[in-house]
Structures are given as structure tokens and as C-alpha cells.
Amino acid sequence: MPARSFAAEAVVLDTQDHGEADLIVTFLGLERGRMTGIAKGAKRSKRRFVNKLEIFSFLHLTCSESSASSLLFIHEAELHSSFLRLRTDPALYLTASVIREVLLLAIREGERDEDIFRLALWALHGLDEGRPALPLLALFLLKFYSGIGYRPELQVCMACGQVVAPAREFTFSHLGGGLICPACTAASGGTGTILSPGTIRIMQSAQELPLDKLHRLVLSGPMLDQCLSALHQYGRHLFQRDIHAWSLLEPHGRRRRATAADQR
Ligand SMILES: [Zn+2]
């Protein structure tokens, strides 16, 4: 089969040297989801690819594919945005790195998902525009887990089905991925992050709001800490491993390690 040429909108998630001249690049694409391609001569041909095949860059690609290789061939890349600001601010860069890491962990090749692509772009644009990084990360993860089929249950107790009461603390179970009422928490000796009523309300709103309205939600102080702790631990459980970039992120913000008071 002859090589078939096509265009794609994509964000660079990873790059890897290949031999002396080539670069293997992993993208999250609008039309095809995750994809991997080779840019022949990318390390030599400064003219074609310079400053483009960088992690986080949002590109318009011209590629081709052939039945002889599982790799796409990347012929050209035009820059939509390099998200310059998040390359120059360590806290923003590390937040974007957590987002990149969970995308790489959760998204397989051949799974086209426009919503995930738009969510990733929303997050990168938001960081680049100077939105507060950690609240943005929390909102991203809430939407992301839903997008990959693990929507946190925030409406009813996962054990007894009781509707979440607006004035009570509930425990977010990292193993179950949802709220457990106080009675069921006590009965089961369950563990998790305790969420205040205010935190639960903001997280519920975040699940319902479309991306363009998400920035209206104000997450800060203890509510932000609770939300991030719950989503971080839930992610570790989902992926069955640490999210490495998170451990680098923490010294840049206030330390958010779960305290004894936060955990049951
Ligand atoms: Zn219950």
C-alpha cells in the first residue's frame, strides 16, 4: 500500500532520540488520539522542525502512514502554540508535567477522543494564560477521570446509596473512587480523604460545568488541599503507580502531603 498523507492537530507528549538524526515523537491528536511518529532528520534539519517538536507544543502536522510501519512519518509541523510561559515558570511546567504524565498513562494508541484532546488543550492554554496552577490541575483531573471512564461518584454514598447531604463531611474512598457517608465509613473502617461540604459542592459543580465555564469555580485553601489529595490518591490507585511529576510539584506549592488529620 502506498503511503497515505494526512494532516493532524496534535500536542507533543514525548520525544525520544532515534539514531543520530531522527526523533520519535508521541502525540495526543484530535483526529486519532495518541499516535507515534518519526521525524526523519529532525535533529539535523533545524529549518523544518526547530522549536516545534518540543514537549507540550500544539502543532499542525503533515504526516503519512504506510502498512510497512507502525510509525507515522512526520513531514512537516506548524506551530499553533508553544505555550512559552509554562516553559519559563517551573511551577507551571511541573503542573503541565503531571497532566502529560497522566495522559501518557491513561491513553492508548488508536483511542480517538475529542473531549480528552480539548481538555488537554484547555489545561495547557489555562496554564499559559496564568491561571492558578493547582486549582487548574484539580479541575483537569476531575474532568479527566470522567473522560477515561472513571468518573468520581460524588452524588451518593457508594456503600449505601444515601444521597450526599449538603451539610456533612464525606470520605472520598481512593479505592472506590467516590464518596462514603460517615455511617458507612465508621462501619467499614474505610480509608480515604475527608471532604468538607464546600469541597464536595465545588467538585460536583466541576463535573457538571462545561470547560469554558470551569474557571468560574474558585478552589483554594483547605478545599483545594482536600480536592488534590483525593484526586492524587485516586489516580495512584487507578494507574497502580506513583505519578512521578507530582512528587516534584509538591515542594513548589504549599506542601500537600496528607496529614494524619486528613486521613482516616
Ligand atoms: Zn453510606
Domain ranges of the chain: 4-82, 135-262
Distance 209 CA to ligand 1 centre (A): 26
Topology adopted by domain 4-82:
OB fold (Dihydrolipoamide Acetyltransferase, E2P) (2.40.50)
What value does the CA radius of gyration of the chain take, rounded to a whole number of Å? 20
**196, 210 contact by CB (below 8 A):** no
The architecture of the domain spanning 135-262 is Up-down Bundle (1.20)
**234, 174 contact by CB (below 8 A):** yes
ipTM above 0.85, yes or no: yes
User: CB atoms < 10 A from the CB of 255, how many?
Assistant: 9
User: CB atoms < 10 A from the CB of 244, how many?
Assistant: 11
Distance 159 CA to ligand 1 centre (A): 5
Distance 157 CA to ligand 1 centre (A): 5
- By the CB criterion, residues less than 5 angstroms from ion ligand 1 are 157, 159-160, 162, 181, 184
DSSP symbol at 211: G
Distance 190 CA to ligand 1 centre (A): 11
pLDDT tens by residue, the chain, 264 residues = 567 899 999 999 999 999 888 999 999 999 999 999 999 888 877 677 777 999 999 999 999 998 888 899 999 999 999 999 999 999 999 999 999 999 999 999 988 999 999 999 999 999 999 999 999 999 999 999 999 999 999 999 999 999 998 789 999 999 999 999 999 999 987 789 999 999 999 999 999 999 999 999 999 999 999 999 999 999 999 999 999 999 988 765 554 444 433 444
Q: What is the model's pLDDT at position 99?
A: 98
Distance 149 CA to ligand 1 centre (A): 23
Distance 153 CA to ligand 1 centre (A): 12
Amino acid, res. 221? G
